[in-house]
Structure 1
Amino acid sequence: MATTSSPAATPARPDQRRRRLLGGRPSTSAGVAALVGLVSAGLALGVAQLVAALVRPQSAPVLAIGSAFIDRVPPWLKDTAIRLFGTHDKLVLLGSMAVVIALLAALAGVAERWRRGAGLVLVVLFGVVAVGAAVTRAGSGPFDAAPSVLGFAVGGVALRLLVDRLVAADAAAGARSSSSSAAPVKGSPTRRSVLAATAWVAAGAAAFAAAGRALGSAARDAVAARSSLKLPAPATPASAVPAGVSNGVAGTTPYLTPNADFYRIDTALTVPSIDPSTWSLRVHGMVEEEVEISFDQLLAMPMTEERVTLTCVSNEVGGGLAGNATWLGVPIAGILERARPKAGADMVLSRSIDGFSASTPLSALTDTSRGSLLAVGMNGEPLPLEHGFPVRMVVPGLYGFVSATKWVVDLEVTRFADATAYWTTRGWSAEGPIKTASRIDVPKGFAKVSPVDGGTVAVGGVAWAQTRGISAVEVQVDDGPWQPATLAAEDGLDTWRQWSYAWDAAAAGSGPHTLRVRATDGTGAVQTGERAEPAPDGSTGWHSVSVTVA
């Protein structure tokens, strides 16, 4: 009888053998691999945070990548984020980054289990991105690469060792399942031992992160310094707030915005923590004499109080990115007078410690009647950390993106033709004079209102045109004629003004109605109704709300 011989078996390649030995429960093993990837990423970020605390907190991978993303975001996306999330945009960004990092980490674990080295490629790529983000930020140096390099090196080693141990455990489990003996070989790894090792790595990640937070004492120092700071009395105090600045309509924005409620829009992913004892301001560029001022020297100068309404250029029509506060600081005009700007200079490029810069017309800062300040106080308190502690700029009449630099450390006297600021390079205008705006605070949009007191409904809000003031506000119901509103008392040209209107809602009739508002500034110019988006130099249009009369 003829016999046939079996062909010689072809030796399996290492990757084929690796996949063959993964055991009989691939989904469970993949889940453990994903967990290993997550824990290894946690270790990488924990080590990186510890190193960043020793180098520079902003060089930590998550902060570096997030800040680089903010730097490169186009204006339309910035406005969309602010419109959707308001002042919580940075929290949303950090949360989104956490989700993406977790997914990539889990994928790295699964990929490394499937093919040795595949997961490490993802680790290396993420590390390269983090290094690039860290070393290209303003004010960075070569040592800013250290947190990402060391962190991802340690995380990569942990990933390789844990996944190799997982593969060996799966192989041992597979061998036992195909053998008549179910007893494990003494010393062979098991999934339980892999999970135990993963738990130890997770504990190490938490310890490194905690150590990084403990070493990162800058925030504690800044908080302690702020709480112990006693502001000097102003040499030129603000006048008392006039009686009657409130319109008397419940629900209208307060005339003075509490610090906790003041809007915050800036490019800092985390609030910079500056010890005032180390802060200094440098004034240089096209000047006859460079000037450098310490915080103590600034506090020793005569202080001025000003009430000024600040507005963000990203504020939509009817939006809430505006606030009114009492600011205490040193007039910038006096600081520049010491430096003596040279002929031909027309701009001051102010820089924040976080890399932000703003282009402010030199004339706006040297105009002693405008009241531009290097502010150290806000509503009777030292500046809150998130609003620029220890020093920020306050310039009436200009949107914040060209004037209100927080955590300011540098003033370069230059020319618009020679230098560009942070947002100018991203498509926004180089100069940003504030446009006349008005807003309906009461009633809210889509509210159901019931006439009282003879059929009226109280309508109220605020209007502003810094440096020009508000001379009139008008309200329109549906497509009817514009009717004059009642203006509250005026405090100054640099602050917003409240207004009210008694709407005869009973005469308008039950059902839906649309209310609109427009303002006239102190020069007699009427607010335009033409709609324009915030980019590149501020939104325009009349604010309207739709309400239903019961």
Structure 2
Amino acid sequence: MVDLHSRPSTGSDPRRPTAPRPLRGIPWWSALAGIASGLVLLAVSGVCSLAFSSSSAPLIAVGGAFVDVVPPGLKDLVIGLFGTRDKLVLGISMLLVYAVVTGLLGILAARRPRTAAVLLALLGAAAGVFVLTRAQNSAADVVPTLAGTVIAVVSLLALVSRSGASPSADGQDGRKAPARPGAFPSATASSSTTVPSSAAAPPRRTLIAGTGVLAAIVAAGAQGLATSRDLSRKVAQFVLPTPQKRAAPIPAGAQVDVAGMPPFVTPNGDFYRIDTALAVPRVDPTSWSLRIHGLVDREIALDFSQLLAEPMVESHVTLTCVSNVVGGDLAGNATWIGVPVARLLERAGVQDGADMVLSRSTDGFTASTPLEALTDGRDSLLAVGMNGSPLPPEHGYPVRMVVPGLYGYVSATKWLTELTVTRFADQTAYWTSRGWSERGPIKTASRIDVPREGKDVEADGEGAVMLGGTAWAQHRGVRSVQVQIDDGSWLDAELGTAVTSDTWTQWALRWADARPGEHTARVRATDGTGELQTSQHADPAPNGSSGWHTIRFTVA
């Protein structure tokens, strides 16, 4: 007689729980399941966000919150290292961190799928909180994140179930349930090589979940594309108004005849972009409005059609970012069309004691502009056009500020929605509250564009080498530029034809005695008031960089 209660002498104890089974037998599969679910969250919410604000996507909202709290020194370092690619670097860094977090959730899901699902839901909920903190968002803008989170959780559980670690099959922690005492192990359970044919077929819930994810993405995409096309149609219908006061034509001599020099007028696609918006705000021009209030006699509100009905001014103005290092390229020159700010402020009636105008963007960014820079006669504009075209979205469509002579952080607010007339003593702006100077006048600067640092150049048939570059001192103009080669005498460069005191000036120098070998060149400018550009080095913070741009090059 066989004793059904006796312990077998060989083999495993049927009453002993089997060892936890890793997902698909290899650890990285579970991590991939978590990353895939995380990507579903981003994909669904990103597509859904097309029908809402640009910062309703969770990655954009979280990144924007990070930008708001990052120390100014770290931001300066990132811009110094990566320039206009700073947002790309931040996005890649966030995705890498996100992949690690969701990968760990996937590994956890192999053993405790419900716990991992709850944590993924909490991750999505936290992103939703960040969405609600963005200035341009309303409560409705959290919908994309919630939709993405729900579908991501379903996807995670479906992937775990498909790989055999479902809580319904293995218990909450993914382990095999212990065999009942006295029960014989079945052939299927004891075999390590026989796999039921049904195991190769996707479970019904996996198919349902996959179909649901696809349907959600398609539906969200269709709605988002419809909204995006509607906005694009409204933008395309915008006709740039004819300015009442046109800018003087740019003379041909403004562009110096040196091969490799940048164009005098920077094309829209090449114009630098430095701002705090990780995604370009989608502003509907039919619902846009501008409010002017604060220390004024009469509050003013204008919609886009009313602003376009105002007499327009066209002006050539060079803009410069305060983060520009010595010799850097965070400067650009364009022809702008817009409404003079001074005219609107006069209509509002500025009260005594006001000395600053706080401009606000739709994404919450603020800039503190000295009142005198908006009322002293310079072409300070609410710009609607750039180089003969409506403002590109990434440069502030439908309306941005352009103020000659001031760094952008105190003047060049994009996606403008509000002007508050106030006092420096009463309010601070985005960057001034982070330690930057409150007024931001642009320093005299010059750079060498040709040749580039470390490049080889060839002398012409007469043994000469051409050097060229750019100098600027907005609202003061450039009087002269000098170049020094190998610690020799300062040589006067030939200036291109001046356009206005608010634009940069190009320069050229023919170095007649270009001996073969390695050389050093440095440049300095004198502004229109006769003040020489300082040689003292200063980093961008807190009020702009300074120093003489120096390069090394080799004459072949």
Could you say whether these structures have the same fold, taking a TM-score greater than 0.5 normalized by the shorter chain as the test? yes
Instruction: Pick one of 502, 508, 515 that aligns with 1:494.
Output: 502
Stretch of structure 1 that moved more, 264-273 or 139-148: 139-148
Q: Which aligned pairs between 1:458-477 and structure 2 lie closer than 5 A?
A: 458-477=466-485
CA–CA distance in 1 between the matches of 2:441 and 2:192? 83
Instruction: Pick one of 294, 299, 302 that aligns with 1:293.
Output: 302
Please say if residues 529 and 541 of structure 1, whose CA atoms lie closer than 8 Å, have aligned partners that are also in contact.
Answer: yes
CA–CA distance in 2 between the matches of 1:191 and 1:104? 30
Pairing 1:318–2:327 present: yes
- Give the direction of change, closer, same or farther, for the CA distance of 1:399–1:258 in structure 2 (3 Å limit): same
CA–CA distance in 2 between the matches of 1:385 and 1:391? 10
Give, in angstroms, the shift of residue 361 of structure 1.
0.8
Please say if residues 221 and 275 of structure 1, whose CA atoms lie closer than 8 Å, have aligned partners that are also in contact.
Answer: no
- Give the direction of change, closer, same or farther, for the CA distance of 1:483–1:204 in structure 2 (3 Å limit): farther
Please say if residues 52 and 141 of structure 2, whose CA atoms lie closer than 8 Å, have aligned partners that are also in contact.
Answer: yes
AA aligned to 1:518 is R
Please say if residues 321 and 409 of structure 2, whose CA atoms lie closer than 8 Å, have aligned partners that are also in contact.
Answer: yes
Pairing 1:334–2:343 present: yes
Stretch of structure 1 that moved more, 352-361 or 447-456: 447-456
Pairing 1:413–2:421 present: yes
Identify the residue that residue 135 of structure 1 maps to in structure 2. 132
CA–CA distance in 1 between the matches of 2:22 and 2:335? 69
CA–CA distance in 2 between the matches of 1:76 and 1:176? 67
Please say if residues 49 and 212 of structure 1, whose CA atoms lie closer than 8 Å, have aligned partners that are also in contact.
Answer: no
AA aligned to 2:282 is S
Identify the residue that residue 532 of structure 1 maps to in structure 2. 538
CA–CA distance in 2 between the matches of 1:24 and 1:437? 61
Pairing 1:423–2:421 present: no
CA–CA distance in 2 between the matches of 1:393 and 1:549? 44
CA–CA distance in 2 between the matches of 1:114 and 1:490? 72
SS at match of 1:20: coil
SS at match of 2:126: helix
CA–CA distance in 2 between the matches of 1:150 and 1:11? 44
CA–CA distance in 1 between the matches of 2:317 and 2:295? 29
SS at match of 1:476: strand
Residues 52-74 of structure 1 deviation map (CA, whole Å, 9 limit, x = unaligned): 45554422211111111222222
Residues 180-235 of structure 1 deviation map (CA, whole Å, 9 limit, x = unaligned): 59665686xx36526x9657645644543443343234543343233332212111
Give, in angstroms, the shift of residue 517 of structure 1.
0.3
CA–CA distance in 1 between the matches of 2:94 and 2:187? 42
SS at match of 2:443: coil
Residues 350-378 of structure 1 deviation map (CA, whole Å, 9 limit, x = unaligned): 111111111101111122x2110011111
Instruction: Pick one of 470, 482, 499 that aligns with 2:490.
Output: 482
- Give the direction of change, closer, same or farther, for the CA distance of 1:55–1:516 in structure 2 (3 Å limit): closer
Stretch of structure 1 that moved more, 431-440 or 32-41: 32-41
Q: Indicate the RMSD between aligned Cα atoms, in angstroms.
A: 2.8
CA–CA distance in 1 between the matches of 2:411 and 2:391? 17
CA–CA distance in 1 between the matches of 2:81 and 2:327? 14
Instruction: Pick one of 347, 362, 373 that aligns with 1:353.
Output: 362
Q: Which aligned pairs between 1:81-230 and structure 2 lie closer than 5 A?
A: 81-120=78-117, 122-165=119-162, 166-168=164-166, 178-179=189-190, 190=199, 193=202, 201=209, 204-216=212-224, 217-230=226-239
Give, in angstroms, the shift of residue 24 of structure 1.
9.7
Residues 127-164 of structure 1 deviation map (CA, whole Å, 9 limit, x = unaligned): 24312321222243444444434432442243235424
Residues 254-301 of structure 1 deviation map (CA, whole Å, 9 limit, x = unaligned): 111111111111111111122211111111111111101111111111
- Give the direction of change, closer, same or farther, for the CA distance of 1:31–1:496 in structure 2 (3 Å limit): same
Q: Which aligned pairs between 1:250-261 and structure 2 lie closer than 5 A?
A: 250-261=259-270
Please say if residues 84 and 274 of structure 2, whose CA atoms lie closer than 8 Å, have aligned partners that are also in contact.
Answer: yes
- Give the direction of change, closer, same or farther, for the CA distance of 1:178–1:481 in structure 2 (3 Å limit): same
SS at match of 1:548: strand
Residues 398-423 of structure 1 deviation map (CA, whole Å, 9 limit, x = unaligned): 01111011110111111111111111
SS at match of 2:124: helix
Please say if residues 51 and 227 of structure 2, whose CA atoms lie closer than 8 Å, have aligned partners that are also in contact.
Answer: no
- Give the direction of change, closer, same or farther, for the CA distance of 1:471–1:163 in structure 2 (3 Å limit): same
Give, in angstroms, the shift of residue 83 of structure 1.
2.7
AA aligned to 1:377 is G
AA aligned to 1:519 is A
Give, in angstroms, the shift of residue 96 of structure 1.
2.8
Identify the residue that residue 19 of structure 2 maps to in structure 1. 20
Identify the residue that residue 38 of structure 1 maps to in structure 2. 35
Please say if residues 296 and 421 of structure 2, whose CA atoms lie closer than 8 Å, have aligned partners that are also in contact.
Answer: yes
Give, in angstroms, the shift of residue 456 of structure 1.
1.3
Please say if residues 483 and 522 of structure 2, whose CA atoms lie closer than 8 Å, have aligned partners that are also in contact.
Answer: yes
Please say if residues 53 and 136 of structure 2, whose CA atoms lie closer than 8 Å, have aligned partners that are also in contact.
Answer: no
Give, in angstroms, the shift of residue 21 of structure 1.
4.7
SS at match of 1:293: strand
Identify the residue that residue 451 of structure 2 maps to in structure 1. 443
SS at match of 2:254: coil
AA aligned to 1:331 is P
Unaligned 5+ residue runs, structure 1? Answer: none
What is the percentage of aligned positions where both structures have the same residue?
51
Identify the residue that residue 311 of structure 2 maps to in structure 1. 302
Instruction: Pick one of 501, 504, 513 that aligns with 2:519.
Output: 513
Give, in angstroms, the shift of residue 523 of structure 1.
0.8
Please say if residues 40 and 201 of structure 1, whose CA atoms lie closer than 8 Å, have aligned partners that are also in contact.
Answer: no
Instruction: Pick one of 443, 462, 469 that aligns with 1:454.
Output: 462
CA–CA distance in 2 between the matches of 1:163 and 1:127? 19
TM-score scaled by length of structure 2 = 0.88
Identify the residue that residue 71 of structure 1 maps to in structure 2. 68
CA–CA distance in 2 between the matches of 1:496 and 1:203? 58
TM-score scaled by length of structure 1 = 0.89
Stretch of structure 1 that moved more, 407-416 or 480-489: 480-489
AA aligned to 2:190 is S
Unaligned 5+ residue runs, structure 2? Answer: 1-5, 8-12, 178-184
Please say if residues 49 and 208 of structure 1, whose CA atoms lie closer than 8 Å, have aligned partners that are also in contact.
Answer: no
Please say if residues 218 and 275 of structure 1, whose CA atoms lie closer than 8 Å, have aligned partners that are also in contact.
Answer: no
The number of residues matched between the two structures is 531
